[in-house]
Structure 1
Amino acid sequence: MKFAGDPHHDGSPDHVRVEDGQAVLRVRVPGGADAVYVRVVEDGEGVLVRAEEAGTVGGTAWFEASVALRPVVTGYRFAVVRGARYTWLNQEGAHGHEVTDAGDFRLLAGPPPPAWVPGTSVYQVFPDRFARDDDSTDPPAEHPDWALPRSWDDEPEGLGRTASLEYFGGTLDGVRRRLDHLARLGVEVVYLTPVFPARSTHRYNASTFSEVDPLLGGDRALRELVRAAHERGMRVMGDLTTNHTGDAHEWFRTARADPDSVEAGFYYFTEHPDDYVGWLGVRTLPKLDYASVELRRRVYGADDSVLVRWLTGKDPVDGWRIDVANMTGRHGAQDLNREVSGEIAARMREVDAARGGDGSWLLAEHFHDAGPDTHHDGWHGVMNYAGFTRPVWSWLNTAPEEVKYLTTRAPLPRNGAEDAVRAMRAANAGLPWRVLTHSVNALSTHDSARFRTVVGGDPLRHEVGVAAQVTLPGAPFLFAGDEIGLEGHDGENARRPMPWHRPGAWDRGILDAYTRLLALRRELPALRTGGLRWLDAGPHHMTFVRTLAGQVVLVHLADGPHTPVAAAPADLDAARPEAAASGGGVRLGTDGAGGVVLGADGPGYVIAVGG
C-alpha cells in the first residue's frame, strides 16, 4: 500500500494529549527508526526536541515527546531519522525532502470550540424552497412587489438576473412541519440560510437584522421551529452576513441620507452618497467597514447586537454560519479579518457561559484556502470546499457540460482518486486538526450544482460520495434534497423545491443509503472523533483508516474496477475489520495471513470495523 509504511501523526486523542501547558505528541513509525525529533519554532528559530520510544507493536514503533505550548498556536513537524535519511512528517504527509512550515501540524491555544460539533451532521434548508405552511402547489397568490411567483413544481432558473426574485413561498412553519423527515434521516443540525427581510428569496441582502421576515412567519415562526427542533434533540444554526448588508438596510439608508451619521462610517463611501464599495462590485450589497467601533458593537459586541440577540432568549439558535467569512473585514490594504473573527468567537463564548449551554458553533463560509484564516482562536470551522467538496467532485465527476468549476467557463475537471487524495491532503494541511473536525463536508450547497448532477445522475457514484462524506473528518453536510436525488446544474438551479407531494420522484435507494451511513457514523466513535491515516490511493480507489482508542475503521472507496490491494495486519494495528456497510462493486476478502484484500469490479465502497 502506497502510504502504509509512512510515519503517521494527527491531532486526534490517540496522538495528542495536552496537560499543564505541555503537549504530549505521539507518532506512529512502521519499522521503527534510529531517532525521531519534534521540530518546533522558538522566537523564529527551529528547535529539535528528541522523542523517546514508547513501545513497539507488531513491528510498528511509537515515539513520544513533550513540548511547551506557545501562545496562540503551536506549530510542529517530525523528523524521522533512519541512517543518513531524514523523513519529514507534517500534516500533508511524509516527505523525503526539506519542507516549509506551511504544512506543519498546529495546536491552537485558548478555549476549545463546542465538543458536540465533530459528532454531528448538518442539513441545510433554503427556506423559500423547502416547505410551505400547507400542501398547496400553485403560485402564491400573495407576494411582495419584487417577487416573481412560481408554482412549487416549477424548476428554478439558472444563474441570471431574475433568479433571486423567484418566489416559491416556503416558510419556517413549513420547515417545522417536516422535522420528522429530518429525524428519520438522522441529521442533528438544521442550518437555515438567512431569514431576515430582504428583496430577494436568498435574503443575503437584508434590510434589517432585527426581525425575521414576515413572509417566513416572523419571529414567532423561528422561535417555534427552534423549540420543536430542540424537543427532537436537534439544533438550529442561523446564517449571518457579516461582510455586507442590502442597499435597503436601515443602516445603509441612514448612511446615505446623512454623511455625518455614525452609520456612514459602517460603509466604504468613495463619494457620498452614490459611490461606495459593494461586495465584488455588486451595488445592492454595500460592504461593511469594521474600522467602525460602533459597527462592531451592533453586529456582535452589545447585548442587543445581531449576533447575541438570536443566541439568547427562550428559544435561541445554536450557532451561526458566517456568510462571506473570508472577506469580512477585508478591503484593499485593510485586513481586520483575524481581529473580527477572534472577537466574534470570544463573544459567543461569553454568551454560552452566561446561558450555561454546551457551546455555539461558529462556521465560516470559505471557498478556497482557509488555512491562514484559522491559525488563531476565531472561526471554529469552515465550509471545506477546497479540502473536500471539489476534490470529491473532480474524482467522481461525470457531469454534463453545463456544470462548471468555480466561476470558470471550462468544464469541471476529471481527475483520479489519487489526485483527489493529494488535493485533500494539501488543502487540509493548512487547517489545525480542531478546525478540520469542526468543519463540514458538503457534496452540494445552495451555491453549487447538485452532486447528483455532478455524477451524471448515477445513484451508485452518488452513494460513494456519501460514504466519503460520512467517513472523512468533518461533519457531513446535506443540502435539502440531496437525500432524495434532487439535481441542479448551478447554484441557482439547484435551489429546487422539495417534492413532498411527489414521493414517487424520490430516489429511495439513496435516501436509505444516507440514513444507514449517518447511523453508522453515530455508532462508531472513530468516525466522529478518531484520527485519519491514509493507506493507499490509485486512479480508481482510495483507502484509509479512522482510529480511536483501539477501534479501527477501514474505508475503501472506488469509482470503478481496479487491481486488488492488500492491507497487512500491521497496517490495521492487528485489527480484523469486518464489513459494517457496503455498496456497489467493492469486495472485502482475507489474505490468509490476518490481512485483508480489497478489490472492485465497479463503483462502490466498504466500511469495515475492527478492534
Structure 2
Amino acid sequence: MKFAGDPHHDGSPDHVGVEDGNAVLRVRVPGGADAVYARVVEDGEGVLVRAREAGTVGGSAWFEVSVALRPVVTGYRFAVVRGTRFTWLNQEGAHGHEVTDAGDFRLIAGPPPPAWVTGTSVYQIFPDRFARDDDSLDPLAEHPGWAVPRAWDDEPEGSGPAASREYFGGTLDGVRRRLDHLAELGVEVVYLTPVFPARSTHRYDASTFSEVDPLLGGDRALRELTRAAHERGMRVMSDLTTNHTGSAHEWFRTAQADPDSDEAGFYYFTDHPDGYVGWLGVPSLPKLDYASAELRRRFYGSDDSVLTAWLTGEDAVDGWRIDVANMTGRHGAQDLNREVSGEIAARMREVDAARGGDGSWLLAEHFHDAGPDTHHDGWHGVMNYAGFTRPVWSWLNTSPEEVRYLFTEAPLPRNGADDAVRAMRAANAGLPWRVLTHSVNALSTHDSARFRTVVGGDRERHAVGVAAQVTLPGAPFVFAGDEIGLEGRDGENGRRPMPWHRSDGWDRDTLEAYTRLLALRGELPALRTGGLRWLDAGPHHMTFVRALAGQVVLVHLADGAHAPVTAGLADLDAARVEVAARGGAVRLEAAGADGAVGLTAEGPGYVIAVGA
C-alpha cells in the first residue's frame, strides 16, 4: 500500500489551529489540486467551505480553510478536487468514493486534557507482584484468611479458583525501593492497579475506597511512594472501579442490610437483599447504578468524594485509570456513560484548578471501539487495545499455541503489516486526535498475555513492537517486567513477580532497547506531539513520518525481508539525518538530491531517521 501521494491532514499543531472561535485547518496535497473544500455539518446538512492555497513546499501544495467551531464537537473531512475526480480525506485516510461521517476528523471544544500526557510514558505495576518490603522469597507466614500464600519465585497458576487469591506479598514500600529502576528505564508515570482493601490480590473488588490496603502498607505507604516519585520528576496514577465495588464493600453491606438506605440505590437489586446485578454476572462484583444522585455525589461530586479525596492534599495522586470504563453507567436500556464520564472530567478540572496543578489524567479502560464514547468532553484517553495492541499482535505474533485471541478458543490471527496498518487506521479514525494522543500504546497489560510470549520469545520482534509503541501517537505503556523479557500465556499467568534477585537472567538486550527508545522519544518533539503521515506498508513492513514544526522523523518497522522501499521525502534533510537502527537487519540508504531514501530489510528490525 502506497500512501505517500495521498493528501494529508491530522490533528497536530502543523495542521490545526484555533483563532477567535474558528478552527484553522491545513491540508497537505502532493502535486497540488484544482480545489480543496472542508466539509462540515450545520443543522444536519453537509456544507462545503472552499480552502485557499497557502503555498507549496517540496512539491506539495498546502491549503488552508477556517470553519466555525461547533458546540462540543466539530466534525469535518475534506474534498480534494482534481479535474472530475473527488478524493475524500477523513481520519482513516484518502478515499476515491463517498464516505460516511463515522471517520471524520473531530475537534472537541472546551479545556484540553493535561498537556504533559502527550510527552509522557507509563509503567504499570501490579503491586502484589512487583517488590516486597525486603528481599525475602518464601511464602509470607502472615496473610489474610482468603489468601493463598506463594513464594516469590512461584509461577502464577493462571486459572482456577485460587488465581485471584494468590498472594505474593508485594507492597508499595517495595515499589518505592525500586523507583531507581524506573528512572533509569526512562518512564515518567507510575501506574498502580487498585490499592484499596479487597478480598483478592487483584483488588478490583474493593471493600472501601477510603483507605489504602494495610497489606500494601496503608495510606502512609502510598503518600511516601508518591512523594518519592514526585521528587524524581515522576507522577503516580492509580486505578478506580467506577463500574462496581466488591460484595464486601461498606456501601454494599449497608445496601443489603437496609433496603431504604441511600446505598440501596447505588446498586441494581432484583430481589433484595441477595438478588442483584454483578459485573458480567460475577456476584462478588455488584454493579453500580448511576441513576443515583447520591452515588454520583459520593463517588466524584463532593469535596470529600472518592475521586476528589485522592487527588487533593499532600502527596496526592496525579490521575485515574478507570477500570471497565466502557461499561460504567450502562445496564440494559440505561446508558449514562457519556453523562458520567463528562461529569468526572469536569470534576477533575475543578480539583486541578483548586490545587493549582498542571492537570490530572483520566484514562479509560476500553478493549474495543472506543470512538463513540470519546466524541465529547469526557475520558481524556483510552487503553487503545483496538487501535494499537491487537493490530501489532496480529502482525508480530508467531502463533504461540498457548495464547488465545480475545475470549475465544481461536488462535491468534496472523496478518501482515499492511493489515495492521489498515486496522490501526480504521480503529483510530473514531478517536478525536486529542483522545488518540492522550491514550496509551500497550504491548502487554495485566489483562493480557505477555508480548514476549506473543512473539515466541523473539527479542528482535519484541524490539520492533517497542519501536512501534514509542513512535506512534499515544503514550508508551510498559507492563512491569516486559522490559526484561518476562513471559506469560494469559493475563493471570503474566502477572509474574519481578525477579529482582535474579537480575543476571534479565534480557539486557531488551532492557537496552526499551531504555534507548524511550529516551529517543523524550528527545524528539515530533514523536511526542507531532502528526502522523503514513507512507508505505506491505506484508512485512510499515513506514510513516512524524512531523512537527519542521522536525521530520521517518520510521520504518519490519518483521522480515521485503523488497526495497523508496520514500520520497524532500523535507528530510539528508545532511542532518541521525539513524537509530536495530542491528543490521534494516538499513536506510542516504537521501539523494531529491530527498528520496531507500529502505531494505533482511529480518526484524527498525530504522528511525531524524531530519531537520
Q: 1:284-295 to 2 correspondence within 5 Å?
A: 284-295=284-295
Tell whether 2:172 aligns with 1:172: yes
The verdict on how the C-alpha distance between 1:573 and 1:114 changes in structure 2, with shifts beyond 3 A counting, is same
Structure 2 alignment gaps of length 5 or more? none
CA distance in 2, matches of 1:33, 1:573: 23
Tell whether 2:477 aligns with 1:451: no
2:222 aligns with 222
AA aligned to 1:165 is: R
AA aligned to 2:611 is: G
Q: 1:348-387 to 2 correspondence within 5 Å?
A: 348-387=348-387
1:518 aligns with 518
How far off is 1:580 after superposition?
3.0
2:33 aligns with 33
CA distance in 2, matches of 1:526, 1:565: 23
SS in 1 for 2:602: strand
1:538 aligns with 538
1:610 aligns with 611
Tell whether 2:132 aligns with 1:145: no
SS in 1 for 2:311: coil
Which deviates more, 32-41 or 586-595? 586-595
The question of whether the paired residues in 1 share the 8 Å contact of 2:290 and 2:336 is answered with: yes
The question of whether the paired residues in 2 share the 8 Å contact of 1:579 and 1:606 is answered with: no
The question of whether the paired residues in 1 share the 8 Å contact of 2:152 and 2:168 is answered with: yes
CA distance in 1, matches of 2:379, 2:465: 26
CA distance in 1, matches of 2:400, 2:165: 26
CA distance in 1, matches of 2:149, 2:64: 64
The question of whether the paired residues in 1 share the 8 Å contact of 2:398 and 2:455 is answered with: yes
AA aligned to 1:32 is: G
CA distance in 2, matches of 1:567, 1:258: 69
1:154 aligns with 154
The question of whether the paired residues in 2 share the 8 Å contact of 1:552 and 1:577 is answered with: no
Q: 1:103-114 to 2 correspondence within 5 Å?
A: 103-114=103-114
Which deviations, in whole Å up to 9, do the C-alpha atoms of 1:550-596 show, x marking residues without a partner? 000000000000000001234x4666662431104101103644311
The question of whether the paired residues in 2 share the 8 Å contact of 1:207 and 1:245 is answered with: yes
1:580 aligns with 579
1:508 aligns with 508
1:242 aligns with 242
CA distance in 1, matches of 2:503, 2:611: 38
CA distance in 2, matches of 1:282, 1:558: 43
1:307 aligns with 307
CA distance in 1, matches of 2:579, 2:258: 65
Tell whether 2:327 aligns with 1:327: yes
CA distance in 1, matches of 2:379, 2:60: 37
CA distance in 1, matches of 2:160, 2:605: 37
2:23 aligns with 23
The question of whether the paired residues in 1 share the 8 Å contact of 2:87 and 2:97 is answered with: yes
Q: 1:177-188 to 2 correspondence within 5 Å?
A: 177-188=177-188
CA distance in 1, matches of 2:23, 2:189: 32
The question of whether the paired residues in 2 share the 8 Å contact of 1:535 and 1:543 is answered with: yes
AA aligned to 2:604 is: P
CA distance in 2, matches of 1:343, 1:563: 52
Which deviations, in whole Å up to 9, do the C-alpha atoms of 1:440-471 show, x marking residues without a partner? 00000000000000000000000000000100
Which deviations, in whole Å up to 9, do the C-alpha atoms of 1:407-460 show, x marking residues without a partner? 010001110000000000000000000000000000000000000000000000
TM-score, normalising length: structure 2:
0.99
1:280 aligns with 280
The question of whether the paired residues in 2 share the 8 Å contact of 1:311 and 1:317 is answered with: yes
SS in 2 for 1:233: coil
CA distance in 1, matches of 2:375, 2:516: 35
How far off is 1:400 after superposition?
1.6
Q: 1:368-517 to 2 correspondence within 5 Å?
A: 368-517=368-517
The question of whether the paired residues in 2 share the 8 Å contact of 1:322 and 1:363 is answered with: yes
CA distance in 2, matches of 1:533, 1:210: 46
The verdict on how the C-alpha distance between 1:575 and 1:81 changes in structure 2, with shifts beyond 3 A counting, is farther
2:259 aligns with 259
The question of whether the paired residues in 2 share the 8 Å contact of 1:576 and 1:595 is answered with: no
CA distance in 2, matches of 1:352, 1:531: 28
Which deviations, in whole Å up to 9, do the C-alpha atoms of 1:273-300 show, x marking residues without a partner? 1111000010110000000000000100
CA distance in 1, matches of 2:395, 2:411: 14
AA aligned to 1:244 is: H
Which deviations, in whole Å up to 9, do the C-alpha atoms of 1:224-265 show, x marking residues without a partner? 000000000000001000000000000000101111111000
SS in 2 for 1:62: strand
1:209 aligns with 209
The question of whether the paired residues in 1 share the 8 Å contact of 2:574 and 2:592 is answered with: no
AA aligned to 1:488 is: G
The verdict on how the C-alpha distance between 1:577 and 1:401 changes in structure 2, with shifts beyond 3 A counting, is farther
CA distance in 2, matches of 1:101, 1:458: 41
CA distance in 2, matches of 1:577, 1:440: 31
The verdict on how the C-alpha distance between 1:164 and 1:20 changes in structure 2, with shifts beyond 3 A counting, is same
The question of whether the paired residues in 2 share the 8 Å contact of 1:553 and 1:577 is answered with: no
The question of whether the paired residues in 1 share the 8 Å contact of 2:399 and 2:414 is answered with: no
Which deviations, in whole Å up to 9, do the C-alpha atoms of 1:162-190 show, x marking residues without a partner? 10000000000000000000000000000
Which deviations, in whole Å up to 9, do the C-alpha atoms of 1:47-86 show, x marking residues without a partner? 0000000001222100000000000000000000000000
CA distance in 2, matches of 1:413, 1:592: 39
Tell whether 2:603 aligns with 1:599: no
How far off is 1:399 after superposition?
3.8
The question of whether the paired residues in 2 share the 8 Å contact of 1:345 and 1:377 is answered with: yes
The question of whether the paired residues in 2 share the 8 Å contact of 1:554 and 1:577 is answered with: no
CA distance in 2, matches of 1:366, 1:460: 29
SS in 2 for 1:112: coil
How far off is 1:159 after superposition?
2.6
CA distance in 1, matches of 2:568, 2:311: 50
AA aligned to 2:439 is: S
SS in 2 for 1:206: coil
2:564 aligns with 564
SS in 1 for 2:544: strand
AA aligned to 1:62 is: W
2:42 aligns with 42
How far off is 1:365 after superposition?
0.2
AA aligned to 1:464 is: V
The verdict on how the C-alpha distance between 1:289 and 1:575 changes in structure 2, with shifts beyond 3 A counting, is farther
CA distance in 1, matches of 2:92, 2:572: 22
AA aligned to 1:208 is: T
Which deviations, in whole Å up to 9, do the C-alpha atoms of 1:188-209 show, x marking residues without a partner? 0000000000000000000000
CA distance in 1, matches of 2:578, 2:538: 22
Which deviations, in whole Å up to 9, do the C-alpha atoms of 1:102-142 show, x marking residues without a partner? 00000000000000000000000000000000000000110
- Percent identity, aligned pairs only, is 87
The question of whether the paired residues in 1 share the 8 Å contact of 2:87 and 2:95 is answered with: yes
CA distance in 1, matches of 2:576, 2:206: 51
AA aligned to 2:36 is: V
Structure 1 alignment gaps of length 5 or more? none
2:121 aligns with 121
SS in 2 for 1:191: strand
SS in 2 for 1:502: helix
Which deviations, in whole Å up to 9, do the C-alpha atoms of 1:286-323 show, x marking residues without a partner? 00000000000010001111000000011100000000
CA distance in 2, matches of 1:318, 1:573: 38
CA distance in 2, matches of 1:346, 1:235: 21
The question of whether the paired residues in 2 share the 8 Å contact of 1:171 and 1:216 is answered with: yes
